[in-house]
Amino acid sequence: MTIKNVICDIDGVLMHDNVAVPGAAEFLTGILEKGLPLVLLTNYPSQTGQDLANRFATAGVNVPDSVFYTSAMATADFLRRQEGKKAYVVGEGALIHELYKAGFTITDVNPDFVIVGETRSYNWDMMHKAA
């Protein structure tokens, strides 16, 4: 069997909290040294690719930020192909960052989309506006 691409989840597979699981560094180094396309996935929308690269580096695993694909990136990629460019967002910095990169205006006035992501600051006013 010839491996042509590698797609791997992050949380619980390569990292547990901020600690690399045993063998993760060697696995990723081997993939990168072979020049195989690599995508590291997470459904955690609150970190950018650079944030994740820094998190991995702190755990002793060096990978470029370009290999990461987050749920925030997936959201922005999906919405980029839809009509409308105004979004009301209940979420944190990385989600908003990805939407800005995709050309969206973040507003609570007549948005085309309401996006609810992970945040530590949910409140009634946010949810009322979202509805």
For residue 66, what are its two tokens?
């370009």
Q: Is 31 helix (H, G, I), strand (E, B) or coil?
A: helix
Task: Give the single-character DSSP code of 11.
Answer: B
| CA atoms of 44 and 38, how far apart (whole Å) | 18
| CA atoms of 122 and 11, how far apart (whole Å) | 24
Task: Please answer whether residues 70 and 45 qualify as being in contact, where contact means their C-beta atoms are separated by less than 8 angstroms.
Answer: yes
Q: Is 9 a catalytic residue?
A: yes
**Burial (0-12, 13-18, 19+ Cβ within 10 Å), 30:** exposed
Q: Is 11 a catalytic residue?
A: yes
Residues tagged active-site: 9, 11
